[in-house]
């Protein structure tokens, strides 16, 4: 804005030196300066002008509009001629206007119309990828997470416990429209194991925006493989599970078998009812057999071990008189 002001001041000085007469003008009436603008603003610009004093004005083009090549200036009922009675200096997003003092002799109306550009209003992201320092890898949000991020609640993103506090959040954001822009606070970092980042997408039109809210947190859960965490290398302190006569206990945490088998824990006992012997067939007592280790027991709890021979009752003997 300072550059614009200096250009206006410079133009006024040049005009006063080269165009205006060298005769000093006495202070005169004060005239109004009004603006009839479309797609442009004159915020902070003069609203009055003194008779005989050169006037400098800067018109700023609004986002989504194209700076016009020309404007109209009327003093009273007379329309001034550009290049003779007033001068403009056009830039991409603003125009500097200078009216020599000799033409400031009535109420002034400045009219400018900027054409609206045909720009996209697409402010959507097609993907968000973040860096997980614990895994040393980039991870993309799922389609569901991407949709949730665009809501007012945002989406939860679990980072591996290998991530540390003060780690910066590094994102790669891809817009659906290549002319849209996506920005976030690239100084954002984890604090107390969590951090919220807002990705603001601005469409090509410079007006339409959309926020994607990401709630990062460190997940303390280990990822076990063969009893060791693949992220931090910690060894699992196996707990839980129950060993049997043939199988070791299975750890509740890493699902790895550990420890020793328990020869006194028989979980697969098959029951056989007692059968009286006959003259032609052997009988047996009531017993239980473990389908795991193959041992025989005389009780359902599997605490009284016997041998197979102990279960057999010999055939009955027929005695002759």
- Report the pLDDT value the prediction gives residue 17, as an integer from 0 to 100: 46
Residue 190 has pLDDT above 90, yes or no: yes
Average pLDDT value for residue range 220-235 = 81
Domains assigned to the chain: 2-116 (2.60.40), 125-219 (2.60.40), 269-313 (no CATH)
Model pTM score: 0.51
- Report the pLDDT value the prediction gives residue 317, as an integer from 0 to 100: 87
φ, ψ at 36 (rounded to 5°): -120, 95
pLDDT band at 22 (very low <50, low <70, confident <90, very high): very low
- Report the pLDDT value the prediction gives residue 90, as an integer from 0 to 100: 93
pLDDT band at 234 (very low <50, low <70, confident <90, very high): confident
Average pLDDT value for residue range 256-273 = 91
Task: Measure CA 242 to chain center.
Answer: 44
C-beta atoms surrounding 275 within 10 Å: 13
- Report the pLDDT value the prediction gives residue 321, as an integer from 0 to 100: 66
What's the farthest any 2 CA atoms get from each other in the chain? 167
Tokens 């605490």, located at residue: 303
As a whole number, the mean pLDDT across the chain is 89
Question: Model confidence over 290-316: pLDDT tens digits?
Answer: 999 999 999 999 999 999 999 999 999
Average pLDDT value for residue range 238-254 = 91
Average pLDDT value for residue range 130-146 = 94
Please tell me the distance from the alpha carbon of residue 108 to that of residue 120, in angstroms, as a whole number: 37
Please tell me the distance from the alpha carbon of residue 319 to that of residue 313, in angstroms, as a whole number: 18
């Amino acid at each position: 804005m300072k550059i614009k002001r200096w250009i206006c001041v410079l133009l006024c000085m040049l005009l006063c030196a080269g165009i205006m007469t060298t005769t000093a003008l006495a202070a005169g009436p004060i005239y109004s300066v009004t603006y009839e603008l479309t797609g442009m603003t004159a915020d902070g610009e003069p609203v009055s002008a003194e008779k005989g004093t050169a006037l400098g004005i800067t018109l700023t083009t609004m986002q989504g509009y194209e700076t016009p090549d020309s404007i109209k200036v009327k003093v009273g009922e007379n329309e001034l001629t550009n290049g003779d009675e007033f001068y403009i200096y056009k830039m991409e997003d603003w125009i500097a206007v200078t009216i020599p003092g000799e033409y400031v002799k009535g109420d002034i109306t400045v009219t400018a119309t900027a054409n609206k550009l045909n720009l996209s209003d697409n402010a959507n992201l097609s993907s968000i990828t973040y860096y997980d320092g614990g895994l040393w890898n980039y991870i993309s949000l799922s389609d569901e997470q991407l949709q949730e991020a665009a809501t007012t609640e945002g989406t939860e993103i679990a980072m591996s416990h290998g991530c540390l506090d003060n780690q910066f959040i590094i994102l790669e954001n891809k817009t659906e429209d290549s002319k849209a822009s996506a920005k976030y606070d690239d100084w954002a970092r984890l604090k107390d194991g969590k951090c919220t980042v807002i990705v603001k997408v601005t469409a090509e039109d410079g007006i339409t925006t959309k926020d994607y809210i990401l709630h990062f947190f460190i997940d303390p859960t280990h990822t076990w493989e063969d009893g060791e965490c693949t992220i931090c290398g910690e060894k699992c302190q196996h707990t839980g599970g129950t060993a049997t006569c043939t199988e070791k206990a299975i750890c509740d945490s890493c699902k790895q078998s550990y420890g020793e088998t328990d020869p006194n824990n028989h979980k697969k006992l098959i029951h056989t009812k007692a059968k009286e012997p006959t003259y032609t067939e052997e009988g047996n007592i009531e017993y239980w057999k473990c389908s795991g280790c193959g041992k025989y027991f005389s009780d359902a709890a599997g605490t009284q071990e016997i041998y197979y021979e102990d279960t057999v009752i010999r055939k009955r003997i027929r005695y002759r008189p």
